[in-house]
Structure 1
Amino acid sequence: MIQGFESDTELPRVKLVAADMDCTLLADDGSMPPHMLERICALDEAGITFCAASGRPLYTLMDMFSEVADHMALLSDNGAAICCRGELIYKDLIDVPTYHELIDYTLADGRGCPVVCGIEAGYLRRCDEVYDDFFRRFFTKIVYLDSLDELDADVNKYTVYFPDRTAEEVFASTYDAAWSDRFSVTNAGKEWIDFMNKGVDKGTGIERLCEHLGVAPAEAAAFGDTYNDIPMLKAVGHSYTVANAEEHMHAHARFLAPSNNDRGVAQVIDRLLELVS
């Protein structure tokens, strides 16, 4: 049974803290915890690496953490690109014919909007620009095209946006069975279904980052709230869900942190910093 975060008696041994962004580190209004950048630097000074672990693209995370990027790690696109202290240490690309196959499937299905997640930008159809305000929360660089048919770019994730918030149902009914044998396919909340190459997810991403840092996964902590966080929670020794996570998620973590709006990740980090000071 999941325990309160104060029950993590081995917390002072943690050398890596990885947190999902939306609905985990960020409040419902999208805001970062106050003084979060100072916490990241304090962790770095204590020999602990903070990692933003997100389905968001690398350039968006770089923009969000530009002031402290040299003091932390960025695990983007659910593990398809990893940057540590300003150095790109891993990227995994989906080949061009394959992501066009995924685009064609999405358009034939008709229930979602194809979003091609390139290393340099997100590529979308111009007809989906009506959702631009929402897309800009996740993609700081967007290229709208009349058609995606001729797109030829370096792409490390493909995602489908469901404006009616039916991603979980669509994933369970069709997308999972159709594609999970070829890809790492996951829900990233109620709006998104994400595709990465097989073997790419937040769990393998954390393992790659641990290897780069010389940190054992048992010495890593991770925080999450939804399906695409499950591999990451399974990979680490200190797994936390936030209190606002869906109930089924708590079975995948050892410890319960306060909710995103109560700045639960920041509370646990503050406890860690107090214990190692």
Structure 2
Amino acid sequence: MEWTYPQIQDDIKLVALDMDGTLLDSQKRLPPDFFDAVHALRAKGVRCCIASGRQYYALLRDLEPVADDLLFLAENGSIIFDGRQNIFTQDLPYSLYRPVVEHIRQVDDCQIVLCGARAAYIEQQDPAYLHQIDLYYARRQLRKDLLAPPVEDAVCKLAVYCDRRAEQRVLPLLEEYRDRFLVSLAGSDWVDMMLPGTNKGSGLTRLQRYLGIGPDNCMAFGDYLNDLQMMGACTHSVAMHNAHPQLAAVCRHRAPSNDQDGVMRVLRHQFDL
């Protein structure tokens, strides 16, 4: 896939950045000059939004030095923060997510996370699984039973983990729930489940209203299928060189890969950083 730097004439006020596979390299490292770029963009009147399937508190842990200048579209759009202030939280009814938890419990090689506003809730302690949990969930609680009693928290998303087989193994299992959930492939290991209409795209639209701007004032970078709706919510969509083909097909622009400093190269070019 070829890449092209965007030649954007619109007045960009919001830049939305996916994390894994986009802003982070394959070793899960931030660009060394990213914090300086956040401050420089804010000084130019441009807000940076981290749009991720990760938990807000995990993002906050990794981005603490610039947290007050960032917007956070976390849990794939089901919870939104302006810095440290919560401005939106989705709430899944217990009656809706209980059958999914009961189903996934019966599948030996899959685990489920209840993603709450205050913490993530898990049952399994498998070492490989806990390593993934450490990456994406800074606040978590281990429970003997996710359902009894129900967690005293707003559950905004379900995340189902299957090591390197999310697309082949998990998506078919969850097909029967598509009339009640948005089922979104979030990476090679994860599938996310939210209420229909809750995704990075709807979250980006909420942020546009919050900031008083429109799609023409917004630029978004992504690499995977949970970024699809976000690309449709902004005029200036940018697929990474390493993007899933289905995502690349809907994006207006291309950037170098996440291992080629792709996001920062485009931002430097576009905003004269």
> Which runs of structure 2 are paired with 1:78-157 in the superposition (5 Å)?
78-128=76-126, 130-150=128-148, 151-152=150-151, 153-157=153-157
Do the aligned residues in 2 keep the contact of 1:92 with 1:156 (CA within 8 Å)?
yes
Match of 1:154, as an amino acid? A
Match of 1:68, as an amino acid? V
Q: Which residue of 1 aligns with 2:158?
A: 158
SS of the residue 2:243 aligns to:
coil
Q: Which residue of 1 aligns with 2:46?
A: 48
Do the aligned residues in 1 keep the contact of 2:240 with 2:255 (CA within 8 Å)?
yes
Q: Which residue of 2 aligns with 1:247?
A: 245
How high is the TM-score relative to the length of structure 2? 0.93
Greater alpha carbon shift after TM alignment, 137-146 vs 123-132: 123-132
Match of 1:52, as an amino acid? I
**1:201-258 C-alpha deviation (Å, 9 max, x unpaired):** 0000000001100111121111111110000011110001111113332102111101
**1:34-58 C-alpha deviation (Å, 9 max, x unpaired):** 1101101111110001000000111
Compared CA separation, residues 131 and 109, structure 1 to 2 (3 A): closer
Q: Which residue of 2 aligns with 1:10?
A: 8
Match of 2:168, as an amino acid? E
**1:63-117 C-alpha deviation (Å, 9 max, x unpaired):** 2221212112000001011112332111111122322222112113444101111
Do the aligned residues in 2 keep the contact of 1:218 with 1:238 (CA within 8 Å)?
yes
SS of the residue 1:221 aligns to:
strand
Match of 1:5, as an amino acid? T
**In 1, Cα distance between the equivalents of 2:9 and 2:138?**
35
Query: Alignment partner for residue 207 of structure 2, among 180, 203, 209?
Result: 209
Do the aligned residues in 2 keep the contact of 1:15 with 1:49 (CA within 8 Å)?
yes
Structure 1 residue 191: deviation in Å?
Answer: 0.5
SS of the residue 1:204 aligns to:
helix
SS of the residue 2:115 aligns to:
strand
Compared CA separation, residues 129 and 94, structure 1 to 2 (3 A): farther
Do the aligned residues in 2 keep the contact of 1:3 with 1:254 (CA within 8 Å)?
no
Match of 1:28, as an amino acid? S
Matched, 1:263 2:261: yes
Compared CA separation, residues 11 and 141, structure 1 to 2 (3 A): farther
Do the aligned residues in 1 keep the contact of 2:171 with 2:185 (CA within 8 Å)?
no
Structure 1 residue 129: deviation in Å?
Answer: 5.0
Structure 1 residue 149: deviation in Å?
Answer: 3.0
> Which runs of structure 2 are paired with 1:266-277 in the superposition (5 Å)?
266-274=264-272
Match of 2:88, as an amino acid? Y
Q: Which residue of 2 aligns with 1:179?
A: 177
Match of 2:160, as an amino acid? V
Structure 1 residue 130: deviation in Å?
Answer: 5.0
Do the aligned residues in 1 keep the contact of 2:122 with 2:146 (CA within 8 Å)?
yes
Match of 1:144, as an amino acid? L
**In 2, Cα distance between the equivalents of 1:22 and 1:107?**
27
Q: Any unmatched runs of 5+ in structure 2?
A: none
Do the aligned residues in 2 keep the contact of 1:113 with 1:128 (CA within 8 Å)?
no
Number of residue pairs matched? Answer: 271
**1:169-209 C-alpha deviation (Å, 9 max, x unpaired):** 2344231x311111111000111110111110000000000
Do the aligned residues in 2 keep the contact of 1:206 with 1:232 (CA within 8 Å)?
yes
Do the aligned residues in 1 keep the contact of 2:25 with 2:258 (CA within 8 Å)?
yes
CA RMSD of aligned residues (A): 1.7
**In 2, Cα distance between the equivalents of 1:245 and 1:139?**
24
**In 1, Cα distance between the equivalents of 2:250 and 2:266?**
18
How high is the TM-score relative to the length of structure 1? 0.92
SS of the residue 1:156 aligns to:
strand
Structure 1 residue 128: deviation in Å?
Answer: 3.5
